[in-house]
Structure 1
Amino acid sequence: MADSEVLLEVDGGVAVVTLNAPDRRNALTPAMAAEFIAVLDEVDARPDVGALVLTAVGKSFCAGGDVQTLLDAGQDPAAGPAWDGMGAIYDSFYRLGQVRVPTVAAVRGSAVGAGMNMLLAADLRVVADDARLICGFLKRGLHPGGGHFVILSRLIGREAAAAMAIFGEEIDGTRAAELGLAWASLPADEVEARARELAARAAADPELARVAVANFRKETGPPHVSWEIATQFERPAQMWSMRRSAEQG
């Protein structure tokens, strides 16, 4: 439905999932996260789907967690509604990382915080050369969450991950491709077509694609601790930072 915040289109075995909340730059709310997970469940239930492209409407790929959601969580991060709401946002991009088909993120505009986690959760990224990729947690007074350090460093290494996640370096799509954060950097109007082209190759044999990507993920990452464990390491620290931020402001 056009008024849904997460859209699904299936074309030739490729599921195109579109974030559709441009008025808030596709920032994730608990409700949007739940809708996203439901769409991924639908994709997994369809044996005719062999790949997935994630894209977004508007000028931003994803601006991270919705500001009001973060503010509400900051009042008492351990309270049931806050805990569940932030958990839903974590679960959304983690679920993308577990979807049964190969995934390609088609990234235009800005990706910040949890929006970075969303694109990092994909198996492959095609980005606009003028995209703005920003970790942004510390600038907001927040500790990173969602296993951010693990899923970022597995792609670009410790040095570049430190530059972005700790020292606040922002990169564009061209630099992302140079660092290995993206497979290709293209003009914005070419990004989705290229992502669909790549996805269509895997989708030509959906059964093989599902088996291959499952083993690809087991064999290639993340290193050191698992993504799931990293999420649990980071969550208490992020909750503390939310509470501190609320008390300070």
Structure 2
Amino acid sequence: MTSSPSPGAVPPAGPGDAAAPVDSLILHSTDNGVSWLTLNRPEALNALTGDQRERLIDRLADASADPDVRAVVLTATGKGFCAGADLRGAPPAGERVAGDVARLIRLGAQRLVAAVQDCEKPVIAAVNGTAAGLGAHLALACDLVLAAASARFIEVFVRRGLVPDGGGAYLLPRLIGPQRAKELMFFGDAVPAAEAERLGLVNRVVPDDALTATAREWAERLAAGPTRALTLTKQLVNASLESDRATAFAAEATAQEINMATADAREGVASFVERRDPTYRGR
């Protein structure tokens, strides 16, 4: 028996490079403390294969573990940021065993979104074009979202009679509230970058030709910052949405206790006392 592909996916995109080496489909470089992860299947609007998804998860884990990586940028080549999950290479649809789809989503799209949110370094999405379905959720899971003026975000699931997956029903209400989230998910309309900024889905919209430079500027500012403090801040903010006040306050105090033992915290205090700019080393 075979199971159907994950519903948070796009239809086959025709002949292409799905079988190409995954390192050519997820470009990776590190510069000035910034890990750049670039989806590179432009002819398929960067729809994600399973191998690409796993490589992204691995690269995000590597960024967490590498003290020389202090920020991450997730972007793409071509006109699309990510059209969702690619069905090419998936097993043919057949008789479905109860639990198959839930397992595919849990081990696939949800693991990817969790890997972004759990990365111990700040992650910036530089959205260069259409972000649809899982592609939209991949961008919105990032800590900061920059969008090119031509970018757009689409909750495509309803167009196919499907429930949003890849964490969409978790992410969107936390970003824009439940009613706005339902509007996007119920109708599946494309949201242009300017409207996404107005709603609060993205931090900043920039001209298409300024996207990479702006992402680099933001990422290098983060990479020059107190990395452990940023990590703990990210964890506090993410956890606060599920915490009561007492739990959130206790977590805050514990995070500050941990952070005060870092060299960067000592440098920050010393630079204030000495009236100079701090030099943080991510330690």
Q: TM-score range by the shorter chain?
A: 0.7 to 0.9
Distance 1:17 1:146 in 2: 19
Query: Is this contact kept in 1: 2:105–2:166, CA < 8 A?
Result: no
Distance 1:30 1:85 in 2: 12
Q: RMSD across aligned C-alpha pairs, in angstroms?
A: 2.6
Change in 2 beyond 3 A, CA 1:86/1:19: farther
Once the 2 structures are TM-superposed, how far is the Cα of residue 116 of structure 1 from its aligned partner?
Answer: 0.9
Aligned to 1:106: 126
Aligned to 2:56: 36
Q: If each structure's helix is expressed as a fraction of its own residues, which one has the higher value?
A: 1
Aligned to 2:228: 207
- Of the two structures, which has the highest relative contact order with CA contacts closer than 8 Å and spacing of 6 or more? 1
The two structures have a TM-score, normalised by structure 1, of 0.80
Query: Is this contact kept in 2: 1:73–1:86, CA < 8 A?
Result: no
- What are the equivalent positions in structure 2 for 1:1-249 lying under 5 Å apart? 3-68=23-88, 72=92, 76=96, 78=98, 83-84=103-104, 87-204=107-224, 205-219=226-240, 221=241
Give 5+ residue unaligned stretches, structure 2.
Answer: 1-20, 245-283
Query: Is this contact kept in 1: 2:39–2:77, CA < 8 A?
Result: yes
Aligned residues: 223
Give 5+ residue unaligned stretches, structure 1.
Answer: 225-249
1:20-56 per-position Cα deviation (integer Å, ceiling 9, x unaligned): 2223211122111111111111111111211111101
The two structures have a TM-score, normalised by structure 2, of 0.71
Query: Is this contact kept in 1: 2:109–2:165, CA < 8 A?
Result: no
Change in 2 beyond 3 A, CA 1:63/1:223: farther
Percent identity reads: 36
Once the 2 structures are TM-superposed, how far is the Cα of residue 209 of structure 1 from its aligned partner?
Answer: 2.4
**3-state SS of paired residue (2:187):** coil
Larger radius of gyration: 2
Change in 2 beyond 3 A, CA 1:190/1:223: farther
Query: Is this contact kept in 1: 2:128–2:211, CA < 8 A?
Result: yes
